[in-house]
Amino acid sequence: MTGNTGTADANGGPVRHIPVMLAEVLAALQPAPGKVILDGTFGAGGYAGALLDAGAEVIGLDRDPNAIAAAGDLLARYPRLSLHHARFSTLDRYAPETGLDGVVLDIGVSSMQIDEAERGFSFQKNGPLDMRMSGEGVSAADVVNRAKVGDLTRIFGILGEEKNAGRIARAIERKRAEEPFSTTRDLAGLIEIVTPRRAKDKIHPATRVFQALRVYVNDELGELAGALLSAERSLKAGGVLAVVTFHSLEDRIVKHFIAARLGKAGGSRHLPEVEPAPALFDQPGKAMISASDAEAAENPRARSAKLRAAIRTSAPAPATGLDAFGLPSLADISRLGGA
């Protein structure tokens, strides 16, 4: 996660919800009457609305119950839309038996969640230190107040790529011994003291820690890996997988997943060539597309956006588990308990 992430930009303040790279996503998915496309990150319905306007049938998922509750207008306008309160790692449960023509995923926190102070995603808005997309389970406050210093250091360092992870974790340990952290300003204020912002810094010193906590609390990397496998199982031959990411860890997972599915031979000039596995996806176009300069200027969230798309072949999906993704090994969040 770098300082130019869409999340970092969003953490800087309210951003009007605009679906990122919409034109590019539509060009990849080619929505049309008769096609069934699953939007695994429904949010405010930006992608879904455009897909429906093009005549496609849309299955929308979101783990945030608020997003589902706010979709009444779209549901009333489009009988071709069905919505489900669910994690996108389970999207194969909602796919028709005949398969999906497309899956689109916009990874990361939405601008609506950031704008709601009570959700605790943004350090610019004082509110409970929460960050749970679903509103259930272990909160960011639970992690900050209960995790061991070594675990906090790994969370901040790996998921946030925070260079001062150890220093911040030790400061948190000292501070919480006096009084537990309860609000976003409690944590952001401490980080400002421990790692004060320099004139040349482009982002707030708390950006990477907040992002790391959000990713950890919501198991975003595990969810993404699960969603990619679910999409692989659910897409019909010719179906399109389109994923928009905003930081390096997410993009790396998608990049490696697609590359591993292209069926190319392995090996090197020093070893015999390895027989290629059957290709599960084709990637006839560019491997990655970035948001245009014009879109990035209009919508700060698009500045670091990357779209990767691939087309499903007819090869059967293998029985692949999450261990194949090499996800970072971090403390078991369930052992931290809830508030």
The count of C-alpha atoms lying within 13 angstroms of the C-alpha of 176, restricted to the half-sphere facing its C-beta, is: 20
Q: Are 88 and 227 in contact (CB under 8 A)?
A: yes
Q: Are 151 and 331 in contact (CB under 8 A)?
A: yes
45: left (phi over 0), alpha (psi -120 to 50) or beta: left
What lies within 8 Å, CB to CB, of 276 at 6+ separation is 263, 264, 265, 266
Predicted pLDDT of residue 204: 86
Taking the CA atoms of 243, 247, 249 and 252 in sequence, report the sign of the dihedral they define. positive
C-alpha distances (whole Å) from 91 to each of 57, 228, 232, 306 are: 15, 9, 10, 22
Predicted pLDDT of residue 9: 36
Predicted pLDDT of residue 321: 87
- The closest alpha carbon to 292, from 20, 8, 30, belongs to 20
What lies within 8 Å, CB to CB, of 328 at 6+ separation is 154, 158, 159, 221
C-alpha distances (whole Å) from 112 to each of 43, 82, 129, 230 are: 8, 21, 17, 26
Full DSSP string of 171-231: HHHHHHHHS---BHHHHHHHHHHHSPPPTT-SS-TTHHHHHHHHHHHTTHHHHHHHHHHHH
Take residue 51 and report the two structure tokens written for it.
């897909």
Please report which helix (H) or strand (E) contains residue 147, including its range: none
The rounded distance, in Å, linking the Cα atoms of 30 and 270 is 43
Compute the C-alpha angle 142/143/144, nearest 5°: 95
pTM of the shown model: 0.87
Which residues of the chain, if any, have pLDDT below 70? 1-17, 108-125, 265-276, 337-339
Predicted pLDDT of residue 147: 96
Residue 137 burial (CB count, 10 A): 16
pLDDT per position as a tens digit, 175-204? 999 999 999 999 999 999 999 877 777 788
The rounded distance, in Å, linking the Cα atoms of 107 and 290 is 15
Cβ burial of 299 (10 Å; 0-12, 13-18, 19+) is buried
Beta bridge partners of 104: 39, 242
Three-state DSSP at 242 gives strand
What lies within 8 Å, CB to CB, of 297 at 6+ separation is none
Place of tokens 């102070």: 117
pLDDT per position as a tens digit, 112-167? 544 444 444 566 668 899 988 888 889 999 999 999 999 999 999 999 999 999 99
**Amino acid, res. 234:** S
Three-state DSSP at 53 gives helix
Residue 329 burial (CB count, 10 A): 8
Distance of alpha carbon 234 from its chain centroid, rounded? 20
The rounded distance, in Å, linking the Cα atoms of 225 and 113 is 22
Predicted pLDDT of residue 167: 97
Predicted pLDDT of residue 60: 98
